[in-house]
Amino acid sequence: MEQYSKMIFTTSHKPKKEQIEKAYEYAKAYDGVYKNRRHIYKYINDEDFYFSIDKNNNLEIIWKNGKFFYHPSIAKIRYNNYEHTKDDYLIKSLTPCKEDSILDLTYGLGSEALLLAAFSDNVIGLEGSYPIYIIVKEGLKNYNFPDNWMRKASKNIKIKNFNYKKYIYKQKENSFDLVYCDPMFENPQMKSASLNPLRRFAVYDQLDEKDIEQMYKICKKKVVIKARDKDSIWNWLKVDEKMGSSHSGVYYGVINKK
C-alpha cells in the first residue's frame, strides 16, 4: 500500500448493512477505496494498515499487531480534578477564557484540546498525520461522550489536517489569543497505553527557534510549549514561567506576549 494513498476502508467480519454503507461513505469522503473484509488480505501485507467500521459503527485503524481508535483519554479525569482542586498545569499555563481563540498545533487524540474547549468556545486543532486526523475528526463527531461538558466542548473544536510547521507561517500576526504546542516527546513515556497506538502514525517534527518566534508573532497573549523535563528543548527555549510536575516529568513553558 502506498503511503496514505487510496487508503482501504472495510468492516468487521459478518458486517451489517449499515457498516458497509458507512465504510463506503468514509472511503468516498477521504479518497479511499472500499474492500470486502473477507478479501482484505489480498490487498495488504504485514506492514500495512486499514480502516474498519466495527460492530458499533465506530471507525478504527487496524494493522497486524495493533489497533487505533478515538477516545478522549484522560480528559474527564483532568476536568473532574480541576473542578475539585482548580489545579491543572495546562489550564494554569494558558489561563483560557470563553472569548479566547486557541490554536492547538499538535492535536493527537485531542484530550487536552477537549479540556481547553470546556473553557474556550473557539479551539482550532491541527493534526499533521492524515490517518490520525481521520480517526479523531470522525471520533469527535460520533463519540458517545458520557458527560454534558464533554458534549458541549466537542462542539467548540475545529480540526484541520495541517503540519503545524507549515501552518504557522501562513498566519497573520496576532491571529490567535493563545498558541499551544505539544510535540512528540524526545523522551516518551512508553507505558502510556493511550498514546502507544498513535505513535505509528504520529508526526515527529521537532521545534526550533524560528518556529517559536513565529508562534509568538501569531499570538496575542501567550505561547505555551509542553515537553518532558529531560527533552533538549529546555536547553535553549526562553520562557517567562515553567510549571509542571516532577512526578510526571512533564512541564509547560509559558512565553507571554510583551
pLDDT exceeds cutoff 90 at 173? yes
Confidence category of residue 191, pLDDT binned at 50, 70, 90: low
pLDDT of residue 190: 53
Query: Whole-angstrom Cα distance, residue 210 to residue 118?
Result: 31
Q: Which residues contact 157 (CB under 8 A, 6 or more apart)?
A: 110, 113, 114, 117, 123, 124, 125, 140
- Tell me what the mean pLDDT of segment 48-59 comes to: 95
pLDDT of residue 1: 39
pLDDT of residue 235: 96
- Tell me what the mean pLDDT of segment 173-200 comes to: 79
pLDDT of residue 135: 97
pLDDT exceeds cutoff 50 at 2? no
Confidence category of residue 195, pLDDT binned at 50, 70, 90: low
Domain 75-256 indexed as CATH 3.20.20.70 = no
pLDDT digits (tens, 9 = 90+) for 150-160: 999 999 999 99
| Lowest-pLDDT choice from 88-102, 137-151, 192-206 | 192-206
Percent of the chain surpassing pLDDT 90: 82
Confidence category of residue 5, pLDDT binned at 50, 70, 90: low
Instruction: Name the strand (E) or helix (H) holding 37.
Output: none
Query: Whole-angstrom Cα distance, residue 42 to residue 169?
Result: 43
Taking all residues of the chain, what is their mean pLDDT, rounded to a whole number? 92
- Does the model's pTM come out above 0.85? yes
- Tell me what the mean pLDDT of segment 66-84 comes to: 94
Query: Whole-angstrom Cα distance, residue 183 to residue 87?
Result: 23
Query: Whole-angstrom Cα distance, residue 134 to residue 159?
Result: 10
Q: Looking at the DSSP assignment, which residues form a beta bridge with residue 86?
A: none
pLDDT exceeds cutoff 60 at 194? no
Given CA atoms 156, 193, 38, 130 in this order, what sign does their dihedral have? Answer: positive
pLDDT digits (tens, 9 = 90+) for 80-110: 999 999 999 999 999 999 999 999 999 999 9
Percent of the chain surpassing pLDDT 70: 95
Q: For the chain, what are the domain ranges?
A: 8-69, 75-256
pLDDT of residue 189: 62
